Structures are given as C-alpha cells and as structure tokens.
Amino acid sequence: PTPPYLKWAESLHSLLDDQEGIQLFRNFLCQEGCADLLDFWFACSGFRKTSQDKRSKLAKAIYRKYIVDGTGIVSRQIKPATKSFIRDCVVRPHPDPAMFEQAQTEIQTTMEENTYPLFLKSDLYLEYT
C-alpha cells in the first residue's frame, strides 16, 4: 500500500484527509505564521455541520476571530465582496450553513497555490519522508 506521506503529495485534499498529515502541515504553517488559514478552513467545514442552536454564536466567533480584523492572514486572502456577504449573514438570527463556503474556497485556493506546494518542498516534509 502507498505510505500516507506519499498520498499527501497527491493533493491538498489527500493531505487534509489524514490526521498526521494535518498535524505536520499545521506545524509547517505555524513556522510560516499562517496556521490560521488551516484552522479557518476546518472551522468552515465544522460550521456546516453545527446544529442550528449554536450556529449564530459560532458564526460570530468565526467572524471575530478571522475576518473582522483586516490585517489577519485569513482576512487578507478573502475578497472584499465575500467579506461583506459574511458580515450581512452574521447579523441574521438564523445564519445559512453555507455562509462561509465562498470564503473557504478562497482560502483553499490560497493554500493550493502557495502554502501547500511550499510544504511539499519544505525540510519538515522531506525529513518526515
């Protein structure tokens, strides 16, 4: 069978499907000062599955932590139109479970184009393999 670390190089999705892969990728992102990208990506996935009674509070928590401060790594990678869409959704009593989907896609693209290829070339990954 293919060892997990070779699967991680197939796609970002394969990497994020493996607990050890996530951990190593997160260590790499911490070194680069951008672990929030990964945390936000998982927060968006978790948000979709969150029960309705917690969704409104959680939407505000995600918004405050990653989006409202425009200097953060996540906020800087999300398009202004997407941010204003989220801002409108957050104030609703029953936020849409898909309200962070566009932002998640934008952050995923950032990781696929930048941090993921860098990770595969990093000493951290090479030493692991």
Partner 1 sequence: IDSEDDLLLECISSAMPKRK
Q: Where along the sequence are the contacts to partner 1 (CB under 8 A)?
A: 16-19, 22, 39, 42-47, 49-50, 54, 57-58, 60-62, 64-65
Cβ atoms of residues 5 and 102 within 8 Å: no
For the bound state, the minimum distance from the C-beta of residue 127 to partner 1, rounded and expressed in Å, comes to 23
Question: Which CB sits closer to partner 1, 40 or 126?
Answer: 40
Q: Could you tell me which residues come within 8 angstroms of residue 56 by beta carbon, excluding any fewer than 6 positions away?
A: 92, 93, 94, 95
Q: Is 107 exposed, middle or buried (0-12, 13-18, 19+ CB in 10 A)?
A: buried
Question: Which CB sits closer to partner 1, 15 or 78?
Answer: 15
For the bound state, the minimum distance from the C-beta of residue 39 to partner 1, rounded and expressed in Å, comes to 6
For the bound state, the minimum distance from the C-beta of residue 53 to partner 1, rounded and expressed in Å, comes to 11
Q: Could you tell me which residues come within 8 angstroms of residue 100 by beta carbon, excluding any fewer than 6 positions away?
A: 43, 44, 47, 48, 59, 62, 86
Question: Which CB sits closer to partner 1, 61 or 89?
Answer: 61
For the bound state, the minimum distance from the C-beta of residue 64 to partner 1, rounded and expressed in Å, comes to 7
